[in-house]
Amino acid sequence: MSIKYPFAGHIFNQSGGFMENFYTDKFSEERASNLHYPFASRGEWQLGSFLSRAELSLKFIDEFLSLDLIKGLGLSFSSARSLRARVELLPSGPRWLSREVSIPGFATKDPVVLYYRDSVGCMKFLLQNPIFANRIRFSPERQYDILGNRTYGDWVTSDGAWEMQEQVPVGTTVLGTILSSDKTLLSAMSGDRVAHPLLITAANIDSDVRMKASYNSLLLLALLPVPKFTGVPKPLHGILENRVIHACLDLICKPLKVVARHGDWMSDHAGNHPPRTASDILSPLSSLSSSMDPWNVAAYTKEAKTLYRLNGVDRPFWRDWILTTAGMPPNPHQIFPIEVLHHFHKCFWDHDVKWCIRAVGEDEINFRFALLQPRCGYRRFPAGISALKQVTGREHRNIQRYILGIIAGAAPLEFIVCIRALLDIRYLAQMRRVTTEALRAIGDALQTFHRYKDIIITGQYRVGKKNKPILHFEIPKLELLQSVVACIQWSGSLPQWSADSTEHSHGKFVKKPKLKTNGIEYYSQICRHLDRDEKVRMFDIATSTHESASAGSLGSNVADFDDFALDMDEWSAGLPAVGPDRAGRKMPDFFSVAAPILPSDSLTSPVPRTFSTATTGFHFNLKPNVPRAEVNDVAEDFNIPGLYVSIRDFLSHYLYDQDNRRISGRQGPTHGTVLPFDGVQVWHSVQVQNFNCDGMLRPPQRLFASPPSDDWPSGRCDTVLFRESVDPRSPQRPGLGLSGFFVGQIRLIFHPIWTLKTKLPFYLAYVQRFDIVSQPYMPRGQQTVPDPITGMYVLRRARRSDGSPMGAIIPFYHCHMPVNLIPKFGESADPYLTAETSMEDTREFFLNHYFDVEDFFHLRSSL
């Protein structure tokens, strides 16, 4: 349920939309007869667009255009320069400006030049982009789940957006402005050339669109200068540079501040005008108040750091942003939302991992990481983690997957509880839709950390240089955990503020354009390159949109614009429909092409390669790894002595109860029955796909069930969460204690080859079951509970009375989702274990719900 803010985002009139601006361009008369003017035809435009976007030098483009075959095409351009001249005639976005910046009294090695664009113009440019036609929300709203709990998702669902809307006139739209900035190195192998891009986007754009690079929702607003001061003590260089940055941001954001105070008219893709738009940067922070002269930099900075722990900037750029200062508390998290990549993952690597290495021991923790069985698509650490260099955010996340199970048994119990509490906070805060229940859980986990955190100091796990103990927790990124709940309430869910997408954009905005420059005054050349690239992209969107509309019998005249605007919402539903920067590779969607598995007594249905239930999609290779083999031969190759009996038992019960599959200890007699088929086809792997907690598709994962080999003495076999009872249309999830589900290891994937025309309409798997181990502390009325220290279920391979693993045949569509098991190593890992044998030679395991954020949300209800 959603409650929208009343009287927000009223539409005043309709004019100046994206396509109307295109139709009224200065070359509109030429485009009435030639849509692709200044190019001679659609084909010539496609070639020109390709060459403009290709990572080719001017020399190579000239050589290509000089080929006899290309000359024979009769192109209107014959060189790279003439091609660029035509691109410059295309409709333009916000223009680039430049301005020299200086700090009185301080000299720099080179002139300090700021390259920037009109910030309000960039926001208008974003709002008019038809790619975002149905993906921008202009009214704050409060969302509730079916139980009536408040949920926080995109920025418009936050308390901050609602409270800001209350401060502006009726009908006005609050437009959230997101600024992101970080230095990036441009030199390769040598040199110190850096760039400092400033990116801008609108918080009102849906986060799932805003965070995808292929939608181009991020615009390069400015290239901030990186001054090199001369005649200044080295400790003051960083302080002066910060002041230059804030002075530049003050200049760049001045138009936005004016809009925030007085409002402005802005239109969307169709030309709909809200009456005024108030721009906001998301919140306030009070500036330093001091009696010291700000230009006495050394003394001012000393007092700022001593009294306020600030960096010496005397005029922060947000100080006079009206909605960030009027009537709102000066909390840093309101203007700087907690950023997952650095505040969570980088903090984990810089602190949690270092503590764990000290608590467990460097050699022991490296050995434990080396013993983890690899999973397809996920990095493993065969050499451990203590010596890793240049670790990225991806490695931070990969280490987080395993860290709790790795240290369990080897570190003090209080320390394990601390690490678990920090993991819980970070995982819960990464939900795309955070409920009030999750916020309470974050608060409880934070209290748990504070209750036991003294063990980190008393155990001397926090050390500095030369392993000297540090006896305090003055860690800014750790301190920000205090603001997680308040930040989510004020700004919405945290994943939308992650720097993953903005840092990924550095390659597109500065690194690749830099390669096309001559290395001299490259800032200006980068700006020209980006301007041409933007013109090509937007012209492609405009012409493709017009052609799509024309296919529906709409003409190219401006008179047809009203009819065209009515169809834009329908067109934009298929994002991204046009544009040269659309995603190059689409993620597979097994559900869209799957044949649904339905209960049926028929044995004559074809066996689809791709099929699905309500929660899981499956895809089998066209050719099996073993096209045909006898059952006894397969049993020997895969080391499954009871395979024949298990198949017979399955078939004897199949017609009576298709959808209930439990692996029990009882089997039928071992002789006297002939199987009704000649052999089996065997697959060594299969792909499965699930939805995340928000109903969005996750990338497919490959599961292995390969036979024993020299590299894998017991075979490479992955673990899966199976349903005991299946209604293919039900999205059921595990209940308390994994109710209705069990964990199993896939040992074999196959399908019978029938003598007659009858056949099973699905694939089969031989699965060995794991049981949950009872804990000493068991609440009354509960059969199973997780380990009270790690919070993870402890599993043990189920065995028959003769000691052999307990397995049975399961229809493969009972597979619910892959899960990860970590061997329970105890105080020290068995030195004879390897990554290939640890799953077979270990007695007990942890069901690792920290393996993936989605696994955490999915399995959390069962804890």
Q: Residue 775: its pLDDT value, please?
A: 84
Beta carbons within 8 Å of 463's beta carbon, 6+ residues apart: 354, 358, 469, 470
Q: Which structure tokens are listed for 114?
A: 């700021």
* Contact assessment for residue 820 and residue 793, using Cβ atoms and an 8 Å cutoff: no
- List 595's β-bridge partners, or say none: 611
What's residue 558's pLDDT? 39
For residue 16, the model assigns a pLDDT of: 62
Q: What angle do CA 337, 339, 342 make, to 5 degrees?
A: 145
Give the mean pLDDT per block of 10 residues along the chain (863 residues): 79 70 86 91 93 88 93 92 93 91 83 93 90 87 89 92 86 87 78 86 90 87 91 86 91 90 76 54 36 72 77 81 55 81 93 96 96 92 91 92 96 97 95 92 96 95 91 90 92 90 86 83 90 92 83 44 39 40 66 66 63 91 93 94 88 68 67 74 95 84 95 94 80 82 95 72 91 80 82 93 89 92 95 94 95 86 75
Please check whether residue 685 is in contact with residue 703, taking contact to mean a CB–CB distance below 8 angstroms.
Answer: yes
Report the alpha-carbon distance of residue 413 to residue 391 in Å, rounded.
Answer: 28
C-beta of residue 841 within 8 angstroms of C-beta of residue 753: no
Q: Which residue reads 């690239």 in tokens?
A: 533
- What amino acid occupies position 593? V
Cα–Cα distance list, 743 to 83, 352, 738, 751, 854 (Å): 61, 30, 9, 22, 17
Long-range pairs for 452-457: beta carbons < 8 A, 24 or more residues apart: 452/414, 452/415, 452/417, 452/418, 452/421, 453/418, 455/412, 455/414, 455/415, 455/418, 456/355, 456/415, 456/418
Could you tell me if 539 and 100 are in contact, meaning their C-beta atoms sit under 8 angstroms apart? Answer: no
Give the model's pLDDT for residue 134. 82
Where do runs of H (alpha helix) occur along 507-589? Answer: 512-515, 522-551, 561-572
Cβ neighbours of residue 687 closer than 8 Å, sequence gap 6 or more: 588, 590, 618, 619, 700, 701, 702, 703
List the structure tokens of 111: 């002139």
Candidates 642, 690, 631, 636; CA nearest to 666 is: 642
Task: Give the pLDDT of residue 572.
Answer: 42
Write down the pLDDT at residue 272. Answer: 66
Q: For residues 237, 345, 438 and 177, what is the CA-based torsion angle, rounded to 10 degrees?
A: 40
Q: Determine the 3-state secondary structure of 807 from DSSP.
A: strand
Cβ-contact 282, 274 below 8 angstroms: no
Instruction: Give the Cα separation of 600 and 306 in Å (integer).
Output: 75
* Phi (first) and psi of residue 616, to 5 degrees: -140, 135
